[in-house]
Structure 1
Amino acid sequence: MRVSRFILWLQAWLFAASTLAASPLPREQISALIMPPFSLGEPVNGKGVYTLLNSGGAEAGYAFETEPLAPLPGFSGAPVNVLVLLDLDGNFLDVRLISHNEPVFVSGLGPAPFHRFFEQYPGLSVFSAITVGTPYGETDSGSSLVYLDGVSKATASVRIAHDSVMAAALTVAREKMHGVIAAPPARPDPDHSEPLDWAALVDQGLATRATVSNAEVDAAFAGTLWADDDPEAQQHPEAPYLDLWIIDLGPPSIAQAALSRDGYDELQDFLAISPEDEPLLLIETGRHGLVSPEFIRNTAPDRVFATQNGLPVALRDSDLLVELSPDLPEPLHDGTAMILRADRRLGFDPAQAWTLHAQAVRAHGMFQPETGTVEFPVTHRTPERFFLRAEAPAPVPPWLEALRSRRTDLIVLGVLLTTLTAALLLAQSRIAARKTLTPLRLTVLAAVTLFIGWWGQGQLSIVTVLGVLRATAEGGSFAFLAYDPFSLLIWGFAILGLVLWGRALFCGWLCPFGALQEFAHHLGRRLGVPQTGLSPAWDGRLRYLKYGALAGLVSLVFLAPAHVDTAAEVEPFKTAITTYFLREWYFTAYAVFWLAAGLVLFKPFCRYLCPLGAAMAAGGLLRWRNWIARRAACGSPCQLCRVKCAYGAIKPSGAVRYDECFGCLDCVSIHDDPSRCVPLILSARKKQQLEAAE
């Protein structure tokens, strides 16, 4: 009955919220954001793109919001909306944040670092290959990539924002500057099949080859400072400097001809989770090597870049081990092979011609050498027959770059969560043994605090739940969840825990702030701080505060969504975990207050005010078993477990209140211990008396 009411209530709120979808800013508000000497001109389309006028009234460029053109969902579920001013040559004049709901910038780090991030764009060109990160090695490495400094602890948010800026800017550049209508890009046809082998790939131009000799490189550097800085090129002028093959692996028939069976299967697994990426195989058997020694896997290559229709194409290493088909010539197996990926959402069309630019880099001087580059363009095109063209843009899938960049953390986290879950499920009694429980539990909580919390930034928050509600209400995408795969994996195990244990797995074992509260309790006892507890009546009343906090936050999602992130500060998680207590004094004081209260009162925030705990308790309705064993004598007459339960999760009748149980296993330890469980002690005494009587 309670579940049905909750579903009906939620459906009513969702229906009410469906009319609150965001719309582009009115012209007056956009005009107010344009700084002199520029002013806003007339609209050029129905997506919020305006002409930009100079002080004399002449057309100077374009002004537009990113949200109508590239509504990539941010981490909160809502897009980051940015004002972009481009001149007629495609240079950024101004990039300014309009609105966002990224939790880490709402009040965690504050908005200043986010605003400073966008200050890096003016002076850059939309036609440059711009990426968020740091260059490999010295800044004079010779790469044509332009790097933007990210924001520590907010990498996912700034990369989403950067993708939004570039996707919107490139859309305008294609249509208004280059006269290229931004049609949906072609996608590989999964049903197109034709027998191909290596000879067919070469004969049909499906594998493009480019060769550059050492002599040609020397000729390109002739007359420059770097003309004599490559002795090997001068000693072997006819030897190949670059011997490059380019193959688009998106079409299945081509991929099957170029890769081994295992390599093809691995590629398909990758494409299953990155359906918007076009995989491009590069094989180089000359001296060039494709990347510098400082190159880092899963990032943009630093010795090659691509363009299409005069605009940059964002390339990134796919981090796949390339296993070529045994039918390929032996020299190719001995070369450097890598699979790059180009994102079709950002405008790359694999059925149109595109150009790969291979850079030759030379350094002059021993100390702080000067670096010079020349480029050798190679154009490739895969025939249209291998592709399909949709009439409408495909839905934007989750952005999966963070998934691959945090691979090591995810592996460690997966092992930790799997081991803990299996241990609690299969060896609960062993964990609960009297001598084992406390040191083992504190060890796990320390790992949760240090690795999951402060290192991995995996503190789950009610903000994510509210973001899901908002995305559901507005019919938006849930792709923002994939921008933080570390937390998403924890969410998966937390939901599994709801089925197996109710709220106990997350609230009792996986919450970093909950772990800090438990450490505060042990510290208080170690320091001899007097412990206290509320009366049963007040304890029962205060437990409902967390449900009130949850209901208030959910209401704000639909009634006043702009205030949700501020209200969500009822959670001290961002202060204690995300920013390491380095915030405004009032936020820090609030978090410290709850930890200080934990010295005398057992986990007060978790028990009485945590809205995420309330959501977990409600989700505990999914629990399919009573996992704490009880005896007939539990509660009548024995009250030991109820008295010892610091959470007050055991009723006088002996029944467990699973919506308040944090899985500390103290009652399990007592229940299984013949020296502490009163029913077991009485049973043993009765048995001894019977044996003595005999």
Structure 2
Amino acid sequence: MGGLVTRCALLALGLLCALPAWAELLTREALGDYVRAPYSVGEKLNDKGVYSLLNSGGAEAGYVFETEPLAPLPGFSGAPINVLVVLDLEGRFIDVQLIEHNEPIFVSGLGEAPFHAFFEQYGGLSISDSIVVGTPYGETAGGSSLKYLDGVTKATASVRIAHESVMGAALAVAREKMQGLASGPPAFPDPAHDEALTWDDLVDQGIATHHVVTNAQVDALFDGTLWEDDDPEAQDTPDAAYLDLWVVDLGPPAIARAALSGDTFQELQNFTEISPDDEPILLIETARHGLVSEDFVRNTAPDWISAEQDGLPVALRDADLFVELAEGAPIDATAMILRTDRRLGFDPSRDWTLKVLATREHGMFQPQTGSVTLDVPHSTPERFFTRPEQIKPVPPWREALRNRQADLIVLGVFLTGLITLLSLGMTRFAGAQNFTPLRLTILAVVTGFIGWWGQGQLSIVTVLGVIRTAYEGGSYAFLLYDPFSLLIWGVTISGFVAWGRGFFCGWLCPFGALQEFAHHAGRALRLPRIEPSPKWDNRLKYLKYILLAGLVAVVFLAPQNIDKAAEVEPFKTAITTFFIREWYYVAYAGFWLLLSMVLFKGFCRYLCPLGAFMAIGGLLRGRDWIARRAECGSPCQLCRVKCNYGAIKRRGEIDYSECFQCLDCVAIHDDASRCVPLVLKNRGRRSAQAEVAAE
């Protein structure tokens, strides 16, 4: 058996030379099938599959991309979860859709519908929001500025990985394509800040931006175009002002009070109470350009005025307020107050640029219109603003720990007690008169708490995911998303050194516990027992190693099929989904439980690939923890005959690769009424005592 284990380990290692199947980027046409009207996919923007998003008029409206090339976080199958993300220019999610994944819990467990529904929650949220995934283990906090997404029961770890993939990819696009996009909540006027200011103070301190463009400067911009001679006034008075513009941010009350009359200031305060997220901008123009065309309609976006911050457009709209300026402000001027929504990414505490359109017409009938843009940079001192402290979500692994804190404490206490019992008190425990009821009680806790409640059934899927991640050089962070199972893995691997595979397979496997309950039910019903001959028993035990090697091969040769191949484990059906699945999965799991009523733990002994991995890990065992006597095996065969697992060789040696730590042989070894060498020894002692007494 040891030689077979070594050969299987070498086979698994050799398969690392196989080439994995790399996912290919979707074509523009394929992406178009996911993008919903009125949007469409535009030109490709980089080599990582980022495309421009076009609106119904053909103008750029955002970005379309897959998450896998940008944030290839491995899921529990070892393969990334690939998601389509559609962002607008302000970093808001227009749409998020699942493209492809291999998460076992959704592929053939819960079904695809809950996973698709999870992604529908992103619509309308922004990458600047503090988005976290809620869990079925705790309620979301009321009044929090965090944005919560509903998780999926029994699949919390998978949806956390999916969320991190979406946010990682979206932020990568934002850093490249949306320079300066606010990564947190925007600044807003500080209501606690006040200072006495006049119009002259605004001018002297640069709070009011003054920008003048002469006729000659505008002429120079039109030079060489069709419209270069279409402004006679500019040619007659080249030094006169074409644009004489003042720009003032009225958000801070101290600035608004210095720029506006008392009545207009009060009207503005009433406006900001109704629209607290709007930043009001005052424009004052004293030259010939004006601010709006004759076709302008109040309370709409001005046709000649726009704005930009960090290369991104800032939406401006007329506030529809009557404007009367404060004493000292320019007279004989055209003034209007525009507004922009800070929630769309505008940060009034940083530099931004007002863009003024200068237009000319050429021809008398159906004239052709030409334009140039005049840039007016503006900034307002940061002292007038404050920024809410952004609540940053804790790392996903810490969030997972917090949400499962109570379960982890109970699990830790249980594992500590079990380890203590099987190490310091093993002999006394094994020899207890009520050992079987105590063992079944522990297995009931394992099935109910660790399995059905805690979802801590370890699976070969995790092993295969780690192997694939190791080969592809990915991150092992996916293991941290399920701290409950990770704790069991840690204890199990540590148990390899002390006991080999027996600690997990005999005491911590929920499906193994179900099989043992089925065995006792079979005995209570007095069903006949099926037990292969020693020769066939030995042959059948090879199957799990062959199956493990085959699954490792699938990881590298056909990774898209690994979730289906791993269904050889009935764990997902019996434990993860509590038998709520398609009938054929339920029938498969039920078959092994019914078989256990007549064939003791047949799946564990002969077919379990996780058990094969545990047996290989058991090679780390540092001691032979089951005591043996010289008479064990020759002549005594009692322990071997009583061992339900066939883990004791004819010579009396323990085959730890097949030992499930049931402790039956430990109990026999120390029982003077059952251990044959002890019985003979005691019988000889009594005979000697009788002879002495007779003399």
Normalized against structure 1, the TM-score is what?
0.67
Residues 1:43 and 2:44 aligned together: yes
CA distance in 2, matches of 1:664, 1:49: 57
Aligned mates of 1:641, 1:16 — CA distance in 2: 45
From 618, 638, 641, the equivalent of 1:640 is: 638
What is the alpha-carbon distance in structure 2 between the residues aligned to residue 497 and residue 415 of structure 1? 16
Cα offset for 1:53? 2.4
Q: CA deviation at 1:28?
A: 4.4
Residue 15 of structure 1 corresponds to which residue in structure 2? Answer: 17
**Structure 2 match to 1:471:** 469
Structure 2 CA distance for partners of 1:125 and 1:308, relative to 1, 3 Å: closer
| Change in 2 beyond 3 A, CA 1:140/1:609 | closer
Residues 5-42 of structure 1: CA deviation (Å, up to 9, x unaligned): 5565444322324x644453344433443344433211
User: In the alignment, which residue of structure 2 is the partner of 1:148?
Assistant: 149
Structure 2 unmatched runs, 5+: 185-189, 195-252, 254-265, 275-341, 348-381
Alignment partner, residue 460 of structure 1: 458
Residues 486-539 of structure 1 show CA distances to partners (whole Å, capped at 9, x for unaligned) of 111111111111111111000000000000100111111122222332222222
Does the 8 A contact of 2:66 with 2:84 survive in 1? yes
Q: 3-state DSSP class of the match of 2:95? A: strand
Residue type of the partner of 1:15? Answer: C
Q: Is the 8 A contact 1:76 1:464 kept in 2?
A: yes
State whether structure 2 residue 115 is matched by structure 1 residue 117.
no
Task: Please report how far the alpha carbon of residue 587 of structure 1 lies from its aligned counterpart in structure 2 after TM superposition.
Answer: 0.7
User: Is 1:459–1:573's contact at 8 Å kept on the other side of the alignment?
Assistant: yes
When Rg is computed on C-alpha atoms for both structures, the one with the higher figure is 2
**Correspondence for 2:433 among 429, 432, 435:** 435
CA contact (8 A) 1:174 1:181 kept: no
The equivalent residue for 1:622 is 620
Worse-superposed segment, 93-102 or 137-146: 137-146
Which residue of the partner structure matches residue 424 of structure 1? 422
Q: 1:417-457 CA distances to partner (integer Å, 9 max, x unpaired)?
A: 12211221111111111413212211111111111111111
Please point out which of 609, 612, 620 is paired with 1:611: 609
Partner of 2:294: none
Change (3 A) 1:684 1:564: same
Asked if the contact 1:431/1:440 (under 8 Å) is kept, the reply is no
Whether the 8 Å contact between 1:134 and 1:147 is mirrored in structure 2 is no
| Counterpart mapping for 1:534-553 below 5 A | 534-553=532-551
1:61 & 1:670 partners in 2: Cα distance? 74
Please state whether the residue corresponding to 2:614 is helix, strand or coil: helix
With over 3 angstroms needed to count, the CA separation of the structure-2 counterparts of 1:680 and 1:502, relative to structure 1, is same
CA change 1:481–1:604 in 2 (3 A) is same
More divergent stretch after superposition (531-540 vs 135-144): 135-144
| Equivalence for 2:481 | 483
Note if contact 2:53-2:62 (Cα within 8 Å) is conserved in structure 1.
yes
Q: Following TM superposition, by how much is the alpha carbon of 1:211 offset from its aligned partner in structure 2, in angstroms? A: 6.4
Partner of 1:525: 523
Q: Percent identity?
A: 65
Aligned to 1:570: 568
User: Quick check: 2:506–2:662 contact (8 Å CA) kept in 1?
Assistant: yes
CA–CA separation in structure 2 for the residues paired with 1:73 and 1:398: 14
CA distance in 2, matches of 1:459, 1:310: 49
Which amino acid letter does the alignment assign opposite residue 631 of structure 2?
A
- Distance in 2 (alpha carbons) for counterparts of 1:165 and 1:643: 57
1:583 corresponds in structure 2 to 581
Deviation at 1:564, TM superposition (A): 0.5
Deviations 1:328-374 (A, max 9, x none): xxxxxxxxxxxxxxxxxxxxxxxxxxx9xxxxxxxxxxxxxxxxxxx
CA distance in 2, matches of 1:84, 1:545: 44
Distance 2:531 2:664 in 1: 18
Q: 2:595 maps to what in 1? A: 597
Q: Which residue is 2:217 aligned to? A: none
Q: Which amino acid aligns with 1:540?
A: N
Q: Are the counterparts in 2 of residues 40 and 50 from structure 1 also a CA contact under 8 Å?
A: yes
Amino acid in structure 2 at the alignment position of 1:536: P
- Deviation string 1:396-420 (CA, Å, 9 cap, x unpaired) is 9984421232122112211211221
Counterpart residue number, 2:508: 510
Equivalent position amino acid for 2:63 in 1: Y
Q: Give the equivalent residue in structure 2 for 1:256.
A: none
Query: Counterparts of 2:138 and 2:428 in 1: how far apart (Å)?
Result: 51
**Residue 335 (structure 2) aligns with:** none
**Given residue 41 of structure 1, which amino acid in structure 2 is its aligned partner?**
G
Query: Does residue 663 of the first structure (1) align with residue 647 of the second (2)?
Result: no
Q: Within 5 Å, which residues of 2 pair with 1:93-492?
A: 93-133=94-134, 145-179=146-180, 377-378=386-387, 399-492=397-490
**Matched residue, 2:219:** none
> Using a 3 Å threshold, how does the CA distance of structure 1 residues 309 and 125 change in structure 2: closer, same or farther?
closer
Superposition deviation, residue 143 in structure 1: 5.4
- Find the aligned partners of 2:396 and 2:483 in 1 and give their Cα distance: 11
Cα RMSD (Å) = 3.5
**Local SS of the residue matching 2:121:** coil
Question: For the residues of structure 2 that align with 1:530 and 1:633, how far apart are their CA atoms?
Answer: 32
The answer on whether the counterparts of 1:517 and 1:595 sit within 8 Å (CA) in structure 2 is yes
Q: Which residue of 2 aligns with 1:683?
A: 681
Contact 2:136 2:152 (8 Å CA) reproduced:
no
C-alpha distance 4-536 of structure 1, shift in aligned 2 (>3 A): closer
SS in 2 for 1:33: coil
Q: Are the structure 2 counterparts of residues 477 and 141 from structure 1 closer, same or farther at C-alpha, using a change threshold of 3 Å?
A: closer
Q: Does 1:651 align with 2:649?
A: yes
SS in 2 for 1:63: strand
Q: Report the number of matched residues.
A: 507
Contact 2:443 2:513 in 1 (8 A): yes
Structure 1, residues 559-589: CA drift from partner, whole Å, max 9, x if none?
0001011110010101111111111111111
Partner of 2:305: none
Aligned residue in 1 for 2:218: none
CA distance in 2, matches of 1:61, 1:94: 11
